[in-house]
Structures are given as C-alpha cells and as structure tokens.
Structure 1
C-alpha cells in the first residue's frame, strides 16, 4: 500500500451567503451550504491526503481573498488557485497583491462559463499574463473540447506560462463513447502534443458521467489521458464538493487508484502528489 501522503490538486471551499457564486443556486441542494476545511478533513484522513489545492468557484477578487484567508488558518491548504480580471487595467496590480501571499499559486478564468469561446485568445491583457510568468505563477484552464483551438493559440503566444487543463477538458462521458468521444479525444491529443508540455488534471470525470458510474465507465477516459499526457503530466484532484452531485470522495479516489494501479509506484506517486507539488510549487 502506498503510504506517501497524497495531494488533492483540485477542490473547493465556499459559503453561499457570500453571494458571488452565480452558478450555485438552492436547486443544487447537495452543494448549497457552507463547505470548509472541517468538512473535508475526515475524507482526507480516510484517503491519506495530507494537503490540497483549493480552487476558485466565483469570478470575483473577493472570493479569492476569502480563500486566502482560509489558507492562512489551515495547514492542509497547500495552495490557492484564484481569480483575476485578466482583461482589466487593474489585473497586474491585483496579481501583485495576491503574489504577496505565499499560498497563492495560480489564476483561473472561468472559461467554460464565458459567452465567447475565443475569449482567451484576445481578451487577457498581455502585461497581466507576462506578470504571471515573471512571478512564476501558473494558469488553470477550465475548458471543454470546443475551447481547445483557443487554448492552443494562447499557449503558443505564451510558451513560458505553466498551464494545466482542469478536469481532463470535461469529456461528455454521460453521452457514451459513440456520441461523446470526439472531438474530445482529438482535443486531448492536440493539447498533450504542445511543445510547452501542458499538464492535465485527472479530476471531474465522475461529475461528467451518468449516475451510478463504475470503474469501467471512466476507464477509457483515464486511459486516453494517460496515453497522451503520461503519468508525469497528470495530477489527481477530487473536484469536491462538486463531486457530491454524482459520486463521493472515497469512491472517486479509489477508482483513480485502481485505474492507475498498473503503473510503477513512482508514476502513481507523481499522479497523486508529486506532479501537483512540482507544478504549483507547493
């Protein structure tokens, strides 16, 4: 059994009463409450996860400050992926403000929610992206397959920027292999082949599946990600508590371990902690 503590490279904390989670409505009953470090602690303990990377869930500077406040008070939070208005004249000053926080590690615009699928190609201010690079901060890309062409152009423009693709680019697993495999599969191959060696998160797959998924449901998608990114460029994340809509923490962790169990131990350790540690400078 692997006794090395794992890192969860993608999870969320939130408080709906803060009022800036536009997508988080009372209809999402399993999610519509406060989720904080105390809620995750027993799940981390049960799965041998020592630390986590907490990721923004609202497109506001205020929410990022909220997450950084949590991080100062909880050792289990190793890093914060925040939100910055990258198209604003204030972007550089906000990045510099956040960069004073040791646990601030990356930014994530919520590309999947923007009405313009090509936003990342033209909207971010060049000086903001260059400042991320100068400060050795990373970039989380929250995308679907339809965003791949724009991410390819963006990555080509900023070859020194460290980029990770969230949730395996969210394959439509619920549609089945016949309907949902393409263009996702080709998009993954295209992203993995970029010369700057993007990373990808082994996360979010349960959320994109039908109810009552099993290991075999997710296996082709995990295998495809492994084939193209390889174990040295994948990092496991829970996407908790969003995961609670279609699964639970222990089951997804166990499935990910089972579907990667054939790998060498060093490769397993990389997926479940080492790659996140290196990529996010934890």
Structure 2
C-alpha cells in the first residue's frame, strides 16, 4: 500500500491501536518515523548487528513496522543503518527501491576514512540516500585534529549528518555546528540521557541549550522509554514522567527543529510502538496543530530533504 492510499484509508475512519479504538483525525497527516532499523539475518552474509543472542535477531523489514499497532498511522520512514559494513548501505537502498514506504536512508560511512569521498559520491547519487550517521567520539576526534574536509563534502552533496552518543553529544555537535554552520546535523535520541524521576542533569541541559542555539542542528525526540528502562527498571508510560526532558529539548529547538523517531525495533524492549508514540504525540498536540505537523514530517523534510515517493 502506497503512502497516499494509506493516508486515505484512515481519514475519517477509526484506527485500531494497542490502546483500543481511536477516532482517526478528520484530516490525516504525514507522519514520518525518522529512526527505524531494518535488517535480515537470513542473508547469505548475515548481519553484524544485532547479535544472535538478542531478542532483536530476526528479520525486520518495512512490512513489519507497518504491522505494528500505532497510536497515529505512520506514512513513511527514514531508516538508519546500524551496520558498519559498507555494502549494507547498498542493501538498504535496494530495499528502498522495492518499498516506497522508505522515504530516506541514513547510511553508515566514516569521514576521515579511506575512500570516503568515493563512497559518498557512490551512495549520495541515489536520491533516497539522505546522509549517514557517526558517533560523537568520531566527531570529537575530527574536531581535535581539525580534519573537517570530508564533512565539508557532506555540505557540498546537500546531505545531512546524524550523530549518536551519550549525554555529552549535544555539546559536541554544538562545537561542530560552530565550525560548519551550513552542515545539517541531527542529534539522535536527545543525546541518550538517562531519564529518571529526578530533574534533568545540568550538564545535559546546558548541552541541549547550546545545540539548540545552532540553527543547523535538529533533534530527534526518540528512544525515550529506552532511556528510562535502564537495567531492571520498567519504563513508565506516563507523559508527565518524560515532560521535564521533552520540555528542555522542545524549548531549546522550538517547533521547527524537533523530529519524530521511534528507534524501532530496538524500542520494543522498553514498550510497544503505540504506547511510545502516544507519549510524544500527546506532547506535540499540546503545542498546537502547526507543531504537530512540523514534528511529524515537515521539520524532517528540511533536515533530511526526504523524498516523497507515492507517485
């Protein structure tokens, strides 16, 4: 089912979710989940992630995401490559070719590594390839060595840079944004701060504020329940538990630079898809219709320039 047909199928109808029956909105909107992972361990070469002993070790494809019970219907996804293998970038692009539900691919490349320019040219020539993800540690190393040539190539290619790491990551990418203000940077999982019932840690708050001041940085509000479900602690499903952290992020980045993502299927270890989606959608709704539309799709369109593929 193409995205336009999917939108039409829920407009004015009723959506079945894990929370029961919910009246669909009068006017369905685009909702792009900007952080999913797809992989297939049955491939002849296997997969480097997830490990065989993990509950995540199974075939995970777009149809499996579409089958998840959802609070609001997701109409497309930007998939993030978690494998370090170069050719797995190509595998995701082949998957996207077969399924227009994938509106963007965030690959895995290593700026500063051998052959980077050629790899970027190869994959970046595909319009569905919207950028790649690196670790905060790599960014710190590139900044320390002042080796930013490859990241300048990302700007020239009109692609984006996802950055994943711990609570220090917002401060790291703020420094990078100062060096390369034209580079579109996307912070993953609000910096993976440990979410507790206590006040958000000061260092993380200051990092988020610093990143928010850089107009070329966007933030995915994703993996919230994962960040609360550390160790044996059960992740709460109440919006108010997460509100102090979402407030910090939303106030720093505003309605125009927050992005919806789930981190599915990794997120399922902390709670079901509909439950996690409800938390962030309820919060966005409090900010108004414009904020919802921005959060669900429009902000990611500016950050990633994802491709509408339903025609």
Q: Flag whether TM exceeds 0.5 (same fold).
A: yes
8 Å contact from structure 1 (residues 200, 229) kept in 2? yes
In 2: Cα distance, 1:280 partner to 1:44 partner: 26
Matched residue, 2:53: 27
Q: Secondary structure at the match of 1:108?
A: strand
Q: 1:275/1:172 Cα in 2 relative to 1: closer, same or farther (>3 Å)?
A: same
Q: 1:118/1:244 Cα in 2 relative to 1: closer, same or farther (>3 Å)?
A: same
Matched residue, 1:244: 268
Q: 1:149/1:258 Cα in 2 relative to 1: closer, same or farther (>3 Å)?
A: closer
Matched residue, 1:189: 209
Matched residue, 2:94: 69
In 1: Cα distance, 2:146 partner to 2:67 partner: 39
Matched residue, 1:79: 104
In 2: Cα distance, 1:189 partner to 1:120 partner: 23
In 1: Cα distance, 2:69 partner to 2:96 partner: 16
Q: 1:65/1:124 Cα in 2 relative to 1: closer, same or farther (>3 Å)?
A: farther
Q: Secondary structure at the match of 2:185?
A: strand
TM-score by length of 1: 0.89
Kindly state the Cα deviation for residue 126 of structure 1 after the two structures are TM-superposed.
Answer: 3.0
Kindly state the Cα deviation for residue 46 of structure 1 after the two structures are TM-superposed.
Answer: 6.4
1:40 pairs with one of 50, 55, 65: 65
Q: Which structure 2 residue ranges, 5 or more long, are not aligned?
A: 1-24, 307-311
Matched residue, 1:213: 236
8 Å contact from structure 1 (residues 261, 268) kept in 2? yes
Kindly state the Cα deviation for residue 20 of structure 1 after the two structures are TM-superposed.
Answer: 4.6
Kindly state the Cα deviation for residue 57 of structure 1 after the two structures are TM-superposed.
Answer: 0.7
Matched residue, 2:13: none
- Name the structure where helix makes up a greater proportion of residues: 1
Which structure: larger Rg? 2
1:163 aligns with 2:182: no
Q: Secondary structure at the match of 2:227?
A: coil
Matched residue, 1:128: 150
Write out per-residue CA displacement over residues 132-183 of structure 1, whole angstroms, 9 at most, x where no aligned residue: 111100000112222344323222221110111111111111x4425x5232
Matched residue, 2:297: 273
8 Å contact from structure 1 (residues 56, 81) kept in 2? yes
Matched residue, 2:125: 100
In 2: Cα distance, 1:37 partner to 1:46 partner: 17
In 2: Cα distance, 1:177 partner to 1:121 partner: 33
Q: 1:46/1:72 Cα in 2 relative to 1: closer, same or farther (>3 Å)?
A: farther
Corresponding pairs, count: 274
Write out per-residue CA displacement over residues 211-267 of structure 1, whole angstroms, 9 at most, x where no aligned residue: 241222212111211111111110111110011110111111111111222112111
Q: Secondary structure at the match of 2:118?
A: helix
Q: 1:176/1:120 Cα in 2 relative to 1: closer, same or farther (>3 Å)?
A: farther
Kindly state the Cα deviation for residue 98 of structure 1 after the two structures are TM-superposed.
Answer: 0.4
Q: Secondary structure at the match of 1:163?
A: strand
In 2: Cα distance, 1:59 partner to 1:73 partner: 23
Kindly state the Cα deviation for residue 12 of structure 1 after the two structures are TM-superposed.
Answer: 0.8
Matched residue, 1:229: 253
In 2: Cα distance, 1:99 partner to 1:21 partner: 23
Kindly state the Cα deviation for residue 52 of structure 1 after the two structures are TM-superposed.
Answer: 0.5
8 Å contact from structure 2 (residues 78, 102) kept in 1? yes
Q: Secondary structure at the match of 1:10?
A: strand
Listed as ranges, the matches of 1:109-128 within 5 Å are 109-111=134-136, 118-122=140-144, 125-128=147-150
Q: 1:152/1:61 Cα in 2 relative to 1: closer, same or farther (>3 Å)?
A: same
Q: Which structure 1 residue ranges, 5 or more long, are not aligned?
A: none
